[in-house]
């Protein structure tokens, strides 16, 4: 972990305009800067950068945040990696926390293996460009594929000499330990203790992680030998898990986000040729069946995936089984069948990007329809085969988590297969019931079913919480006042009888007392986390809520703060007067000569005094309304059970809630009058 002091230094140093300008052309518009959003296609700029607040916001697609969020989104990096990116840009030394001895050993091994792979990538590229065999054999192969020098350099393509241990000898001579040459699979160890080069005599395709690190290689043999595998890949290791990697994802991630679509192909050369043709939002499964880890990797950037197939019917039938996983992960799947004799590699070499995309858009069909049409070719008039086909398709539809999409597919399946929708729904319900029963059997001993660690929720952004939108908006309205006006003066409290001064209340103190003081918790966990931390730091010396939370170490909290600080954040309609009143610190600095400013300050304070209690009472009232609804259900149950004691108890509770509701209604209906000072 990066220590808080270093994070603060990075945040203070990183200038939002400077950071964004590395990727977006910005033009000054008043106090802000304007440009075309890098996260979606637009012709009129709606992407705004505020140097004063240190944030960016696109009012087209909604993305926003500080400098770290921009790098996270644009470069598809984790929070920590984005901080390190900015630290490197501004020459700030990153101080990590002290690791345990076990962590140090694991980190040392990983770093050593990554260093070996980085060296190997450079070595293979050097052999390709400068060794006579590399130029005569490897480069000749890439030229025949139509790859340009720029493409070869971009993908770090290389060549491994056709010698038993040429790479091993070079690597050990440079000081790399044989242990890590073995662990990476570059030069495995024989039983007799000697090493050999796994990829000898092959052109090399480095496999990059999402952040661009080389974790594995694929090697294609060029000699015609039936006994030799055409492709050889790196084995699984501490740094490479093939089920979680996709070839080309590092080069495709930005294009996938921008186009909101990912093309899935099979091989290395498919990806490279499509990139060279100008179609960059493409990745390859490298000849293996798709895994949940790979699907989640794509789903981070887009839910829309288009699978490109060549005309090999047997190969398609073998691979479509794996696509059911895409349905289960909630992906929107389209399928394109390329013309006979063409694959993505060959088609990309003879067509430019616009022609390729045009062909895809005109010929893509949804996966279920494609699957039905493909399998219907073998059915004929055989009722048994048709029943099998229906069962196969129904199993796919049953995996779809979205009910609306499921219903559309049921209609389509019913039409194409001439089967009543009720029959299809019955089969889907049977499959789901069987799945539930199977799960119950596995958990009947009282223990929870084990879950793949890669599928666990990693951040609060992944949590889907059924929260009423009105309630959520009310929570955001409260946090709006806390973030923007939390340390500002609200009112002065006096003793009712003696009128003696008691204390001054800030906006934040009032909010905390009214909510946490009454043990009221927000329903949204991110909103609650922000409120709790706000209360913790409210009385810290020099505490400025906007800066503190926009620079928060938890991305979901800092993003929320940025949204609340954005000028176009929409408060509930009753509070829209705030468009005329921003922070006192920014606009209302009162001087002896500025009578008009003093009047504005007075108006601003009165607006706060009216709005802050109102937003609190609105929220409390909504809670009481929900509680009354719950109690009414209990009352109905008690009445049906003829339980007089329970009925009386519930009615008493409802009466108490109605009293509170009446008090809130009175407060909301009357203007709150309190002395400002």
Half-sphere exposure of 165 (CA within 13 A, CB side): 14
Domain covering 249-440, topology? Dna Topoisomerase Vi A Subunit; Chain: A, domain 2 (3.40.1360)
| pTM summary value | 0.58
Please give the residue that has the higher pLDDT: either 582 or 111.
111
pLDDT score, position 319: 66
Tell which residue, 281, 277, 280, 237, has the closest CA to residue 262. 281
Determine contact, residues 32/50, Cβ cutoff 8 Å. Answer: yes
| Tokens 């059915």 belong to residue | 379
Structure tokens at 527: 């909103």
pLDDT digits (tens, 9 = 90+) for 241-273: 888 899 999 999 888 878 889 999 988 999 999
Cα–Cα distance between 174 and 613 in angstroms, integer?
A: 70
Q: Which two tokens stand for residue 390?
A: 């229906």
Q: What share of the chain is helix, strand, coil (3-state, %, to 5)?
A: 55, 10, 35
Residue burial 528-558, b: 16+ Cβ < 10 Å; e: rest: ebbbebbbeebeeeeeebbbbbbbbebbbbb
* Segment 1-19 mean pLDDT: 81
- What is d(CA 131, CA 402) in angstroms, rounded to the nearest whole number? 56
- For the chain, what percent of residues have pLDDT higher than 90? 28
Residues 6+ apart with CB under 8 A from 585: none
DSSP per-residue string spanning 166-213? HHHHHHHHTT--HHHHHHTTSSPBPTTS-B--TTTTEEEEEEE-TTS-
* CATH value of 4-89 in 2.60.40.3670, 3.40.50.1220, 3.90.580.10, 3.40.50.720: 3.90.580.10
CA–CA–CA angle 13, 17, 18 (5° rounding): 60
* H and E: helices and strands count for the chain: 28, 16
In angstroms, how far is the first alpha carbon of the chain from the final one? 46
CA 290 to chain centroid, in Å, comes to: 20
What's residue 457's pLDDT? 29
Distance in angstroms (rounded) separating the CA atoms of residues 159 and 176: 20
Q: Quick check: helix, strand or coil at residue 215?
A: strand
What angle separates helix 67-75 from helix 4-13, to the nearest 10 degrees? 90
Contact predicate 424/397, CB 8 Å: yes
Axis crossing angle, helix 507-515 with helix 469-485, rounded to the nearest 10: 140
Contacts of 142 (CB under 8 A, 6+ apart): 128, 152, 157, 203
Given this model, what pLDDT does residue 663 score?
75
Domain limits, the chain: 4-89, 101-240, 249-440, 469-669
Q: Which range has highest mean pLDDT (231-240, 285-294, 382-391)?
A: 231-240
Judged against a pLDDT cut of 90, whether residue 503 lies above it is answered with no
- Greatest alpha-carbon pair distance for the chain in Å reads 102
**Which stretches within 58-138 are classed as H helix?**
67-75, 79-89, 101-130, 132-133
- Which two structure tokens, joined as six digits, stand for 274? 């499509």
Among 550, 528, 543, CA closest to 476:
528
Does residue 587 carry a pLDDT above 50? Answer: no
pLDDT digits (tens, 9 = 90+) for 215-228: 999 999 988 776 78
- pLDDT for 447 equals 41
Measured CA distances, 407 to 313, 413, 560 (Å): 28, 10, 35
Question: Helix (H, G, I), strand (E, B), or coil: what is residue 601?
Answer: helix
Choice between 358 and 23, residue whose per-residue pLDDT is larger: 358
Q: Which has the minimum average pLDDT: 85-89, 356-360, 453-457, 532-536?
A: 453-457
Residue 85 main-chain phi, psi, to 5 deg = -60, -50
As a whole number, the mean pLDDT across the chain is: 82
Burial-class residue 396 by CB neighbours within 10 Å (0-12, 13-18, 19+). Answer: buried
Q: What is the mean pLDDT of residues 626-639?
A: 86
Angle at 270 between CA 264 and CA 271, to 5 degrees: 65
d(CA 286, CA 270): 10
Q: How confident is the model at residue 102 (pLDDT cuts 50, 70, 90)?
A: low
Share of the chain above pLDDT 70, in %: 85
| Beta strand 214-221 pairing with 202-208 | antiparallel
- Is it the case that residue 288 has pLDDT exceeding 60? yes
What sign results for the dihedral spanned by CA atoms 144, 145, 151, 152?
A: negative
Top mean-pLDDT range of 149-163, 324-338, 433-447, 624-638 = 149-163
On the question of pLDDT at 585 being above 50, the answer is: no
- Residues 625, 660: Cα–Cα separation, whole Å: 10
| Position 1 pLDDT exceeds 80 | no
**Residue range 230-248, pLDDT digits in tens:** 899 999 998 898 888 999 9
Higher pLDDT, 441 or 576: 441
Q: How confident is the model at residue 281 (pLDDT cuts 50, 70, 90)?
A: very high
Q: How far, in Å, are 257, 297, 382 from residue 302 at the CA level?
A: 6, 9, 40
Per residue in 405-449, pLDDT (tens digit) is: 888 888 988 888 888 889 888 888 888 888 777 766 654 544 433
Q: Is the pLDDT of residue 539 over 70?
A: yes
CA dist., res. 640 & res. 340, Å (int): 69
What is the side-by-side strand order in the sheet with 332-337?
282-284, 262-265, 304-309, 332-337, 365-366
Taking residue 507's Cβ as centre, other Cβ atoms within 10 Å add up to 22
Q: Determine contact, residues 222/202, Cβ cutoff 8 Å.
A: yes
Question: pLDDT class for 106, splitting at 50, 70, 90?
Answer: low
Choose the most confident range, by mean pLDDT, from 45-59, 188-202, 243-257, 376-390: 188-202
663-677 pLDDT, tens digit each: 777 766 554 434 444
* pLDDT of amino acid 470: 73
> What are the structure tokens assigned to 532, written together?
């709790």
Q: Other CB atoms closer than 10 Å to residue 361's CB: what's the count?
A: 11
Average pLDDT in the 275-292 region?
Answer: 85
Q: Please say whether the structural domain 101-240 has been given the CATH code 2.40.30.10.
A: no
Q: Is the pLDDT of residue 584 over 70?
A: no
How many beta carbons lie within 10 A of that of residue 613, not counting itself? 20
CB 270 within 8 A of CB 306: no
pLDDT for residue 660 = 79
Structure tokens that stand for 641 in this block:
């059970």
Question: Confidence band (pLDDT; 50, 70, 90) for 315?
Answer: low
């Amino acid at each position: 972990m990066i220590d808080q002091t270093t994070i603060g230094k990075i945040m203070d140093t990183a200038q939002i305009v400077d950071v964004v300008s590395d990727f977006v052309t910005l033009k000054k518009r008043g106090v802000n800067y304007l440009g075309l959003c890098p996260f979606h296609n637009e012709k009129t700029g709606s992407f705004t950068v505020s140097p004063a607040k240190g944030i960016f916001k696109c009012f087209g697609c909604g993305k926003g945040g500080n400098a770290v969020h921009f790098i996270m989104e644009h470069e598809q990096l984790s929070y920590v990696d984005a901080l390190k990116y900015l630290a490197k840009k501004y020459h700030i030394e990153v101080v990590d926390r002290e690791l345990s001895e076990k962590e140090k050993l694991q980190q040392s091994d990983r770093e050593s293996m990554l260093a070996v792979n980085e060296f190997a990538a450079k070595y293979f590229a050097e052999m390709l460009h400068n060794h006579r065999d590399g130029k005569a054999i490897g480069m000749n192969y890439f030229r025949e594929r139509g790859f340009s020098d720029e493409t070869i350099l971009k993908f770090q393509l290389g060549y491994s000499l056709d010698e038993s241990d040429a790479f091993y000898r070079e690597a050990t001579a440079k000081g790399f330990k044989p242990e890590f040459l073995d662990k990476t699979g570059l030069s495995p160890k024989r039983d007799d203790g000697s090493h050999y080069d796994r990829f000898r005599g092959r052109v090399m395709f480095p496999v990059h992680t999402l952040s661009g690190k080389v974790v594995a290689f694929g090697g294609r043999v060029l000699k015609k030998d039936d006994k030799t595998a055409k492709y050889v890949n790196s084995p699984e290791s501490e740094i490479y898990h093939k089920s979680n990697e996709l070839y080309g994802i590092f080069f495709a991630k930005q294009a996938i986000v921008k186009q909101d679509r990912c093309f899935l192909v099979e091989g290395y050369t498919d990806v490279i040729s499509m990139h060279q043709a100008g179609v960059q939002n493409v990745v390859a499964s490298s000849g293996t069946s798709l895994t949940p880890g790979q699907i989640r990797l794509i789903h981070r950037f887009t839910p829309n995936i288009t699978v490109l197939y060549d005309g090999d019917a047997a190969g398609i039938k073998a691979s479509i089984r794996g696509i059911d996983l895409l349905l289960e992960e909630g992906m929107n799947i389209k399928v394109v069948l390329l013309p006979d004799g063409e694959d993505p590699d060959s088609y990309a070499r003879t067509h430019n990007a616009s022609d390729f995309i045009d062909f895809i858009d005109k010929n893509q069909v949804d996966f279920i329809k494609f699957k039905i049409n493909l399998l219907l070719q073998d059915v004929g008039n055989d009722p048994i085969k048709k029943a099998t086909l229906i069962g196969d398709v129904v199993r796919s539809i049953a995996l779809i988590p979205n009910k609306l999409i499921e219903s559309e597919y049921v209609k389509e399946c019913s039409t194409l297969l001439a089967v009543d929708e009720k029959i299809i729904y019955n089969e889907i319900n049977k499959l789901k019931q069987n799945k539930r029963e199977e799960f119950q059997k596995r958990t009947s001993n009282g223990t929870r079913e084990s879950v793949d660690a890669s599928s666990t929720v990693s951040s609060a952004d992944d949590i889907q919480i059924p929260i009423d939108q009105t309630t959520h908006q009310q929570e955001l309205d409260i946090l709006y006042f806390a973030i923007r006006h939390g340390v500002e003066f609200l009112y002065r409290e006096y003793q009712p009888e003696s009128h003696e001064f008691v204390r001054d209340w800030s906006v934040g103190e009032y909010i905390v007392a009214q909510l946490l003081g009454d043990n009221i918790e927000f329903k949204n966990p991110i909103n609650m986390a922000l409120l709790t931390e706000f209360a913790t730091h409210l009385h810290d010396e020099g505490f400025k809520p906007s800066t503190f939370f926009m620079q928060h170490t938890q991305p979901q909290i800092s993003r929320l703060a940025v949204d609340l600080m954005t000028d176009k954040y929409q408060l509930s309609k009753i509070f829209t007067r705030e468009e005329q009143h921003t922070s006192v610190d920014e606009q209302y600095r009162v001087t002896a000569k500025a009578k008009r400013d003093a009047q504005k300050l007075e108006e601003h304070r009165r607006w706060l005094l009216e709005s802050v209690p109102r937003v609190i009472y609105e929220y409390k009232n909504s809670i009481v309304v929900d509680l009354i609804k719950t109690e009414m259900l209990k009352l109905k149950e008690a009445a049906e059970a003829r339980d007089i004691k329970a009925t009386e108890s519930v009615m008493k509770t409802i009466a108490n809630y109605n009293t509170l509701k009446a008090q809130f209604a009175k407060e909301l209906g009357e203007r709150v009058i309190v002395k400002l000072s």
